[in-house]
Structure 1
Amino acid sequence: MVEADKKAPVNYAHESWQKAAAGISKMRVSEDGQKLLASVDWTPAGA
């Protein structure tokens, strides 16, 4: 991830140097506290 990029990468593998399939731009817990909800921006290859 580039320092200026505010998205958490979703990689194809668990290796940090691998190409990202998506980026998580927002994340929150549901009102009942049972789910983690995220906004995911898929790359063309990841889609």
Structure 2
Amino acid sequence: MHVVRHGETLHLIARRNRTSVNVLLRLNPKLRRRPNLIYAGESIRVR
């Protein structure tokens, strides 16, 4: 799990975790509806 920090994007989180945005979206179906809108404090799966 990754807790989103202020200023982070899915692209940045994916790159830091050596994965892709598509993988993050597959692991986190709730993000598919709004992939450009994530909030600080939100938990997302990265693996």
Structure number, greater radius of gyration: 1
Higher helix share: 2
Instruction: Please give the TM-score of this superposition, normalised by the length of structure 1.
Output: 0.19
TM-score if structure 2 supplies the norm length? 0.19
Q: Which has the higher contact order (CA 8 A, sep 6+)?
A: 2
